[in-house]
Amino acid sequence: MGLEIFNDIINKVKESDFVQNFIEELTDYLKNKGEVKVESNSLKQEGTLYQVVDFSSKGVYLRNTENNKIFEETNINEDLKEKLGNDYVLSYKNGKYVYEEELTDKFMNSLVDIGEYQKIKSKFEKKTNILEIDKNEVFKVEERKENTTILGYGNNEKIEVPNELIPFFSKNGTNLSYKSGKFQIV
């Protein structure tokens, strides 16, 4: 019991705004003294697509569509930042972010409301044996069609899935899992 109280206190201290602010101020101080090097560009990759997740006071939170990692980008052109909204798609080309208007429109048009999504998912689960497949099974995108995607798994088994259930940025060769009723990039 005493250990649980100790762990609770430690967790509360970790979550404390005071501690977080102190760490940020110390990091800034050490950066200014040249004692700590922070590579903010380490998450940028030439030719990669990024999806705007949210905005911060310092910049924009981006999700790398290749590995699903989310990071805060503080080095982004202010003119571009003012044009952006959540779920907009950017590419990183020649050392700068570029707004991908056509891809953003295509992504936005692919979205369905939650009610429609649930109907599609329910119909898919009834029509296939997806719920009987091991939850740790890895599916591989084999072919993207106009309305469906062919996934391979197991011993050359295949399953056809409505595109609404497949992550938008997956492409041929992407590995997916089916957990909690949805496909996710592995």
pLDDT, tens digit, 9 for 90 and up, residues 106-140: 999 888 999 999 999 999 999 998 999 998 999 99
What domains lie within the chain, and their CATH numbers? 40-108 (2.40.50), 112-185 (2.40.50)
State residue 36's pLDDT score.
Answer: 38
Cα 3 versus chain centre, distance = 36
Question: Looking at this protein, which amino acid is placed at residue 63?
Answer: R
Confidence band of 41 (pLDDT split at 50, 70, 90): very low
pLDDT, tens digit, 9 for 90 and up, residues 60-105: 999 999 888 899 999 888 999 999 999 999 999 998 999 999 999 9
Return the DSSP state at 168: T
Angle between helices 17-32 and 2-15 (to 10 degrees): 50
Question: What is the token pair recorded at 84?
Answer: 């952006």
pLDDT, tens digit, 9 for 90 and up, residues 4-25: 664 555 555 445 555 555 555 5
What are all long-range contacts of 93-96, with beta carbons under 8 Å and residues at least 24 apart?
A: 93/46, 93/47, 94/46, 95/46
Query: In terms of Cα–Cα distance, which of 40, 39, 45, 170 is closest to 97?
Result: 45
Question: Looking at this protein, which amino acid is placed at residue 34?
Answer: G
Computed on alpha carbons and rounded to an integer, the radius of gyration of the chain in Å comes to 21
Which residues, at least 6 apart from 88, have a Cβ–Cβ distance to it below 8 Å?
51, 52, 99, 104
pLDDT, tens digit, 9 for 90 and up, residues 162-180: 999 999 999 999 999 998 8
Distance CA 151, CA 167 (A): 12
Distance CA 79, CA 83 (A): 7
- pTM given for the model: 0.64
